[in-house]
Structures are given as structure tokens and as C-alpha cells.
Structure 1
Amino acid sequence: MTTLDTDIAIVGGGLAGLTLGIALGRMGGRMGGPGLRVLLVDREDPARALAAGFDGRVSAIALASQRMLDAIGLWRHVSEAQPMWDIRVSDGDSRLFVHYDHRDLAELGDQPFGWMVENRVMRQAQQAALADLPNVTLLAPMGVTGMQLGESGSGQPASLQLADGREIRARLVVGADGRQSQIRQLAGIGVQHWSYNQTGIVCTVVHERPHHGVAQERFLPAGPFAILPMTDDSAGRHRSSLVWTEPPERAKAILALDEAGFVAEMRLRFGDHFGKLASTGPRWSYPLTFLHARDYCAHRLALAGDAAHGIHPIAGQGLNLGLRDVATLTEVIVQAARVGLDIGQENVLDDYARWRRVDSTVLSAVTDGLTRLFSNDIAPIALARRLGLGLVQKLPPAKRLFMRHAMGDLGRLPKLLRGEAV
């Protein structure tokens, strides 16, 4: 049996897992010598993951997250990114709304709230960034068949058994393999989990009039309806990503419509402020659920990204929550390695768990509460929330707080989220 020795084994090559590998490879390389050795293991074929039809989603990259991507050398490989200059939030057909304008945060300079980036474009950037890091190796497509973490205090490395018969021995295993995390299950870590009985419909829309970098979210009785700005296509057509929430059966019927019927349903919710509409490319759908791991770490194990927490897309913060895990875990590991600590010991990983649990628990609770508050049409509740939106619009301090939150620029930030090297 062939054994692969490494410092860190990351299972899961999605947006969070690959970014963590790049961050650890780049920041760990600053330690001198070979730096931290990182092995990434992913079940997906990288070539398939780069195909246009693999994933139609577009992710919001908050300002703080972009700082980190820039600091680890990834952002320069992002070929297309649409700045979000403004955010407009409204409730149904109410005239009351909240308008967040980036110019109201002059102290941050002329910075957008963040950028909309196609997941396909982000994966292309990750592959390019990996090519610059000789201390990071991607094994894919490759499955994991078993895991042993060893006893606390034993000094023994963790081990992963691979589908091809090889074994990985690592000082630390990171589970970044999504909501159905195999690593979390092998470690016996339980979760809180429930379904919202909602399906998210995702597609790209071309429209007659420009969006001017404004992200819009309308709260409808079935759930949020988000219109997120994208870059123009190669033909100069204006594009937006649509994230449309419906009950599962209704979503199934909408997805089965022909182009004319689908566009008619879109227009009922879109309105006419963008002029003529057309969908382009495939339509995707995803069940919307909540998940929160009961523990973020164990001996020689840490969870990151959706393996640790999965939230409703109502605030567009799912990936940013995972990227905050990346920044925090990178800082904890690199600083521990520099002073000669065992990076897989629980007293080291507890720092990561404590740092991340408060932020992720609060954001999980907020998004869950917002989903329940806005996904109904009960008259007293609808009136209260509409008045609440109007009140926030007229209270500059409250608006500034929410805007800083949207930028990911609140609270105790790891160095990478401040744009600083670890």
C-alpha cells in the first residue's frame, strides 16, 4: 500500500475547500523551507467542474472576502467580476424599501459592497492559482473510503483511505466536502438540520436595460426573489442571475414551462423596469435547507464551509461564511505551525472553533429568522416588516450597520479578511 505523507489533507474541492488549500499553501509557504504541505482530495473530475453546464450559480463575494482572495493570489485570476454598487430590498408590491448605496460609506473609499462572480469563473481562477503552488497537490477525481483520527495526545497522525487503495497520513484533516459531508459523518459529528420546503430556481437572464450594478431582492410570499447583476456577455447583452424561491411542487411546474411561459412567470415577479427579458442557458434547481454542525473540530479534524454550516441564500452570504472559515483556519494553523505547535491538537483547533462559532451561529439564526419572517403573507406580519424596511431606510446608523455587514467588514476579522498576510 502506498502512503502519502502531508501536513494537511483537505477533503472537498469546492469553492471553500480549494480556496483553503490555496490560502494554506500561500501563507504556509511564507514560513521558509517547503512550507506547509497540503493535499486536496475531491470526488469531482476537475475538467467536468469547469464545464459551463456544471453549475449555473453565481456567488456574491463580499468586499472583505475579496481582500482575502487578493491576498492569497487568487483574485488576479478571476476573469470576470461584476461590482455591486447598490443593494435594493423591497417587500412585495409595497412602496417601502431599503436602498443601500456604497457612497454612504465614504470612509472605505469608492468600494462596492462586493462582486458577483460565476462559480465557473471562480473555479477557473482556483485552478490557475493552484498551478503556482508546488506545495499543494489536488487528487481528483478521488474518493475517500475510510478515516482514522487517532487518540488525543498520542502524537499519531490521522489517516485517510482512498478509493484507489492508497493511504494519506496527515497532521490535520479538514472536512470541506459540503452539506452531506462524508468526513463529518465518519467523525460522528451530529448536526441540526431542517428543510424550508422551498426550492431555489437559478438561471441567467438577459434584459434590455442595464442593471447599473444594483442587486435587488424582493420578498414574495413564496420566498425571496433576487436579481443579481452580472457582467455583460460577449455579445454585449445585459445579464443578471436570478435566484427564485418557490415551494417544491410549484418550482417543478415552473421549471417544466417552455421559454414563453417561463419568461411570463419571471415578468410577473421582475416587473418591467429592465425591459424585454429572456432566459439564457439551462435552468437549475436546489432544495433549500438549514444545517449546523454540533462541533466544528475534533482531534486532528476541522470542518469548514458547508460541512460546518449551510444557510438559506436569503442574504447571499453562504460562500462568504465559508470564506471566513478559510481565513480564520488559515491564521490559526499558520501561526501555530510557526511556533512549533502540533496543528492537529484540539487546543489549537479550539481557537478556530471558538472564533467561528459565534459568527456562524448568529448569521445562521438571522438568515433563518428572515426566511420565516418574509416567506409568508400573514397581514399583521407583512405590515410590520414593511414598516421595518421603511424605518431602516430613514435611520442612517442602522443602514450603515447593515451595509458594513453586507461587506463582511464587521466584528473581529482575521488578517486575510483585512487584506493582510498571515
Structure 2
Amino acid sequence: MTTAHNSTQLQAVDIAIVGGAMAGATLALGLAKLSTTLSRPLRIALIEAHVADNQHPGFDARSIAIAHGSIFELSRLGIWSKLKHLGTPIENIHVSDRGHFGMTELNAKPLGLDALGQVVELAKVGSVLFDELAKSSVQVYCPAKVTDLQAQQDGHLLLLDDGSQLHCQLLVAADGAHSVVRQHLGQTTEHVDFQQTAIVANVVCSAPHHNWAYERFTQTGPLALLPMQNMAASTQLKEPSAQLTSSAKGLSRYSLVWALPPTQADDLKNADKSEFLAALQHAFGHRAGRFVDVGQRVSYPLTLSYMPRPIYHRCVFVGNAAQTLHPIAGQGFNLGLRDVVGLLDVIAQAFTQQGEVDVGSSALVHQYLAARQHDRDSTLRNIEFLVRGFSNQYWPLVAGRNIGLRLLSWLPPLKRPVAQTAMGWR
């Protein structure tokens, strides 16, 4: 990794990636690995505005579920072996509809798997990814921000706040939901406002989690619990209070994502700890045990935001820069990783077929769009369907979703396609 600052000399690269969180860092590492197999090495630059510590907005105290299909792709890229020690396996998922009879389970063993996915803490992942970037051929500009962006016939000229100037054939926007690249290029997004706000926090429970995850649909919206590694509760990751440690006998940690109406979410975010835990216990029940502690609570509005065409002149958009999802099915990073893999595959195929490649050509950019369209469109439709179908009390929908959940329990063969979708198998 080369960190460049205050260089007024124009640096020419093949691919410039703006944004170095999960999608951008993964793409940079994937390109560096791919480059070693091509007819010529790729010149790759990564521009990231924040140092990868626990204050980084993309590598904060949240946890995410990495689906089984995504683990396969990360392994193919040589990245999962570096992250595996950080993962907590999800061996079973319990799905229920609060106040109704619908419930089912998804289990890894009947599918011949050790786990349906893995839960990782983003703060730890960020440190590992940037350590790997330091060993790679990627030229990293960090911390650095794009202050100006000029589209040219043969590429893009980027001006950075540290004085650096870059020219790239292909620009990749991986800079999140409020993409600076998208703003500079005047591109717009479509929005669906679900009138929900998510509270995200780490909680301590009185019983071992035994690698179970939970998705519970309530009157206010879905409530998800993801199992986490046990550790001392008082850490730099803003964990629960110091008198409780999840490594103590019988205690366990979960990552909580709780969708609520905005006013209720604001009240609970600011409520005292005992009031919050009581409300959480009432909404979730006692299937996982008794909630005994909660760490820092953060909140954010839940919307579906997407670019109808996540491409532009010599530019592609990946991850949250292309679409942000409701967390109801935990597909945000998994869909973004499929964007990354799709771009890597298109570039690899172009070099195989042509030998010498302009990686920003209109043909390559449109091949990426075509490769991603079906998966992306179907995922967006499915997420909106789930949110609307499970976040209301209209009785025909309530009856339909509960019958559907029960059918999954009564007819196990029906679970396989549902599990395959949840695990990101395409």
C-alpha cells in the first residue's frame, strides 16, 4: 500500500475507488489479487476520507451478518481467511410473528452446512482489511476527500483535499448512501420511506446464544438479534456497562436491530437502561433469555434508496452508493459484495477475451450493468415486499404471512429455497 499526500503531480491509474469501507476495501483487495493473473498489472487507487478505526462511519460498533454465499466469495478473493477468526457462526435462525401463530426455523445442518452465515463486528473488520491493503499493490490515499471531479472523454480527473491529483480510466463509487461521487456527477436516487427508524445496539442476555439468530416481526416492525462473540463487556467498542461481562458463565452478547416508528424509536433511544430493557423484553419475549444490559444506542431512518441505473460515463456505483436496503433480511453488505464480485468478473472476462482492455470503456460499464440487473432488481423487490408484508396489521396479510411461516415448518422441503435466498446463493 502506498499512502500519497500533497503531490501536485498527476497520478495516472486504471481504476480509482472512492470509499474504503466494506465494499470499497473488498473491491480494492479483489482487484489487487486479480491483477496478478492478468496480462498486465492494474494500477489501483483507493481514496478514503477516514482512518479505519472505531470512529470510522463504515467500521463502527455495529455488527453485520455475512451470508454463506458471501463467505464463499470472500474465500475466493482470499479475504475470508483473514477475517474468519472474527466470525460468530449462525447455525440456526428462528423467525416468528409476535402475537400470532406463525413461526419457523432455518437450520444449517439439514442443508449439510456448518453455518448459514457469520456475524462480524465492523470495527475489527476494518482494521484487518486496511492491514491487508498495506501489504497490497493498492495506492491508498487516506485520509483524503474528493474536492472536485471532472468527467473527461478518456476517464475522470479527481482532485483531493491533500493536493493530490488522479486520472483514472474507471471510477468506482463505493462511498456510501450519501455518495460524494454521485453528487459531483449530478446523479439521483429513488427513495421509498418506510416510516421506520432502527435502533442499533449490543445487548447482553442471561442465557447462552448457542449460535442462534432471531428475526421477530412485531406490530412496529422487525426486531433482529444476531449472536456475537463473548468478550469483556467494557471495551473501546462502546459495549455494555463494566459490571457485566458476557464471558461470565451463562451470559451472551447479541447485536440488536429494532425497527420502530420514529417517535417511539427516539423515546427508547433516550430512555434509561431499565426502561429500554423492559420494552425490549416485552417486544421480543423470553426465548433468548432475559436481557440484562445494553450498550450505546444509535438510530437511523429506514428507507429503500437506489439508483435505477448504477452506472455513468466511465463510472460504476457499488454497495450503498448504488442502493441502501432496509435491514429486515440482512442483505445490505451481501448485495454490495455481489456488486463487487460482478465487477471483478466483468473485468476478468474482458482481459481474457481481449488481452488489452480499457477498463472504463462504455462496453465494460454496460456489461457490469447487465450482469447485476436481475439479482439487484429481485433483491430490491423482495426487501420491499417483506417490509410491507410484515410491518402492518391488515388481517389478510397477517393471516397469509402466518400461514406461510407455518407451511415452512410443516413442509421442510419448502425451506431450502428460502434458506438459499437468505444465504445469498445465486
User: Shared fold (TM-score greater than 0.5)?
Assistant: yes
Q: How does 1:7-156 map to 2 (within 5 A)?
A: 7-31=14-38, 35-47=41-53, 49=55, 55-78=60-83, 79-106=85-112, 110-133=113-136, 135-151=137-153, 156=154
Give the CA deviation at 1:47.
Answer: 3.6
Cα gap change, 1:364 to 1:310, in 2 (>3 Å): same
In 2, Cα distance between equivalents of 1:48 and 1:260: 27
Change (3 A) 1:400 1:359: same
Q: d(CA) in 2 for partners of 1:387 and 1:173?
A: 47
Runs of 4+ in 1 over 3 A off after TM superposition: 47-51
In the alignment, structure 2 segments of 5+ residues that lack a partner are 1-7, 233-244
Query: Which region of structure 1 is more displaced relative to structure 2, 375-384 or 19-28?
Result: 375-384
Distance 1:219 1:182 in 2: 35
Letter in 1 for 2:395: A
Residue in 2 that maps onto 1:3:
10
Q: Distance in 1 between matches of 2:199 and 2:293?
A: 12
1:124 Cα deviation from its structure 2 partner: 1.8
C-alpha displacement at 1:120, in angstroms? 1.1
> What is the CA deviation profile of residues 117-172 of structure 1, one whole-angstrom value per residue up to 9, with x for unaligned ones?
11112212211221221x20221221112222223xxxx23211112332110111
SS at match of 2:305: strand
Tell me the distance in 2 between the aligned counterparts of 1:397 and 1:274. 27
Aligned partners of 2:98 and 2:53: how far apart in 1? 41
* 1:378/1:255 CA distance change after superposition, 3 Å: same
Q: Which moved more, 1:331-340 or 1:205-214?
A: 331-340
Q: How far, CA to CA, are the matches of 1:270 and 1:7 in structure 2?
A: 50
Q: Partner letter of residue 320 of structure 1? A: N
Contact 2:224–2:258 (8 Å) recurs in 1: yes
Equivalences for residues 16-415 of structure 1 within 5 A: 16-31=23-38, 35-47=41-53, 49=55, 55-78=60-83, 79-106=85-112, 110-133=113-136, 135-151=137-153, 156-234=154-232, 235=245, 236=247, 237-338=251-352, 339-410=355-426
Question: Is residue 337–residue 343 contact of structure 1 (8 Å, CA) maintained in 2?
Answer: no
Verify the 8 A CA contact 2:95 2:214 in the aligned structure 1: yes
Q: Is contact 2:197-2:300 (8 Å) kept? A: yes
User: Would you say how many aligned residue pairs link Structure 1 and Structure 2?
Assistant: 400
Contact 1:8–1:37 (8 Å) recurs in 2: yes
Q: What do residues 84-142 of structure 1 show as CA deviations (whole Å, max 9, x unaligned)?
A: 11111111122321211112213xxx331110111112212211221221x20221221
* Alignment check: 8 A CA contact 2:206 2:291 kept: yes
Amino acid across the alignment from 1:269:
A
Decide whether the 8 Å contact of 1:148 with 1:158 is kept in 2: yes
Separation in structure 2 between the aligned mates of residue 30 and residue 111 of structure 1, nearest angstrom: 32
After TM superposition, give the deviation of residue 50 of structure 1 in Å.
6.0
- 8 Å Cα contact 1:201-1:245 kept in structure 2: yes
Change (3 A) 1:54 1:63: closer
Report the 3-state secondary structure (helix = DSSP H, G, I; strand = E; otherwise coil) of the residue aligned with 2:152.
coil
Residues of 1 paired with 2:327 and 2:303: CA distance? Answer: 10
State whether residues 223 and 256 of structure 2, in contact with CA within 8 Å, keep that contact through their aligned partners in structure 1: yes
Say whether the 8 Å CA contact 2:281–2:290 is kept in structure 1: no
Q: Counterpart of 1:195 in 2: which secondary structure?
A: strand
Cα shift at 1:242: 0.7
Gaps of 5+ in 1: 411-422
Q: Give the CA RMSD over aligned residues.
A: 1.8
Give the CA deviation at 1:315: 0.4
CA contact (8 A) 1:75 1:125 kept: no
Q: Are 1:203 and 1:279, in contact at CA under 8 Å, matched by a contact in 2?
A: no
SS in 2 for 1:278: strand
Deviation, 1:72, is 2.3
Question: What is the Cα deviation at residue 330 of structure 1?
Answer: 1.0
1:303-325: per-residue Cα shift (whole Å, max 9, x none)? 10011111111000110000001
Q: TM-score, normalised by structure 2?
A: 0.89
Deviations 1:383-419 (A, max 9, x none): 2211121123223332100111112113xxxxxxxxx
Letter in 2 for 1:61: I
> What is the TM-score of this pair, normalised by structure 1?
0.90
Does the C-alpha gap of structure 1 residues 276 and 91 become closer, same or farther in structure 2, counting only changes over 3 Å? closer
Distance 2:326 2:356 in 1: 39
Structure 2 Cα separation of the partners of residues 242 and 402 of structure 1 = 23
